[in-house]
């Protein structure tokens, strides 16, 4: 229900203003990864992140929603378990995060449609519950932050989703 409300807000352009504040993205990722560690004993979560804090201007709740969607997909679509790697680094003018699973993967055709509203690669498979809105919302939230999303996948091997978020430009003041 919340996802549907988010989508309608995104589509009519109303109520999707970001409430951007300085957020330590490293701390934020550690917190959400720890949450999933507790939720899924089947998977090994490995986080490779910078040791220092990295402050970005983010809507904290919406960024949590992004990681919640990405990690829930990574676990849901790797039903046999395996390793889930979370990598983060500063590159060019972005902080880049990738989330890699060893799950069922997607074909090139499926990956091309993954951000479509209500798209589910295998809607007939009732083993995986969902409405097909998670990745639509992820893309909207990241792009609203001036960021980018990308994906790579191989069927029966696994999937990597990546996001890039803009760094705070030097000399720019933080005043909301
Ligand atoms: P929701 O997130 O709304 O509960 P969902 O997980 O089905 O439902 P999305 O998160 O938008 O929807 O993903 C769309 C489709 O893309 C999924 O149904 C699945 O087929 C495929 N998909 C997404 N992430 C992965 C992944 N990590 N591995 C394999 N397939 C994936
Ligand atoms: Mg999902």
pLDDT at res. 125: 84
Question: Is pLDDT of 50 > 90?
Answer: yes
If one residue of 68, 83, 132, 157 were mutated to test the ligand 1 pocket, choosing by the most ligand atoms within 8 A of its CB, it would be 132
Tracing tokens 């000399």 back to the chain, one arrives at 171
Ligand nearest to the CA of 105: 1
CA distance 174 to 122: 44
Determine the atom of ligand 1 nearest the C-alpha atom of 105: 29
Question: Is the model's pTM score more than 0.75?
Answer: yes
Question: Is pLDDT of 150 > 80?
Answer: yes
pLDDT digits 0-9 by tens, 72-83: 999 999 999 999
pLDDT band of 175, cuts 50, 70, 90: low
CA 79 to ligand 2 centroid distance, Å: 14
Average pLDDT, the chain: 93
Q: What is the mean pLDDT of residues 78-106?
A: 97
Mapped onto helix, strand or coil, the DSSP state of residue 61 is helix
Say what percent of the chain tops pLDDT 70. Answer: 95
* 92: Cβ contacts below 8 Å, ≥ 6 apart: none
Spatial contact of 139 and 115, defined as CB atoms under 8 Å apart:
yes
User: What backbone phi and psi angles, to 5 degrees, belong to 148?
Assistant: -135, 155
CA 169 to ligand 2 centroid distance, Å: 32
Question: Is pLDDT of 1 > 90?
Answer: no
Q: What is the DSSP letter of 126?
A: T
* 50: Cβ contacts below 8 Å, ≥ 6 apart: 26, 88, 89, 90
Q: Is 3 in the pocket of ligand 1 (CB under 6 A)?
A: yes
User: Edge-to-edge strand order for the sheet containing 82-91?
Assistant: 43-48, 82-91, 94-101, 158-166, 148-154
Q: What is the mean pLDDT of residues 85-94?
A: 97
Say what percent of the chain tops pLDDT 90. Answer: 81
CA 173 to ligand 2 centroid distance, Å: 36
Q: What is the mean pLDDT of residues 121-138?
A: 90
pLDDT at res. 8: 83
């Amino acid at each position: 229900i919340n996802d549907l409300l988010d989508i309608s807000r995104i589509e009519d352009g109303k109520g999707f203003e970001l409430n951007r504040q300085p957020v330590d993205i490293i701390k934020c990722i550690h917190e959400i990864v720890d949450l999933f560690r507790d939720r899924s004993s089947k998977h090994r979560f490995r986080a490779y992140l910078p040791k220092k804090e990295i402050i970005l201007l983010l809507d904290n709740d919406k960024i949590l929603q992004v990681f919640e969607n990405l990690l829930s997909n990574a676990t849901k679509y790797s039903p046999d378990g395996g390793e889930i790697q979370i990598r983060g680094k500063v590159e060019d003018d972005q902080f880049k995060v990738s989330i890699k699973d060893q799950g069922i993967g997607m074909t090139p055709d499926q990956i091309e449609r993954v951000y479509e509203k209500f798209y589910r690669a295998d809607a007939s498979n009732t083993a995986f519950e969902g409405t097909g809105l998670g990745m639509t919302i992820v893309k909207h939230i990241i792009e609203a932050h001036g960021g980018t999303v990308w994906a790579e996948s191989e069927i029966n091997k696994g999937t990597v989703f990546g996001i890039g978020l803009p760094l705070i430009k030097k000399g720019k003041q933080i005043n909301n």
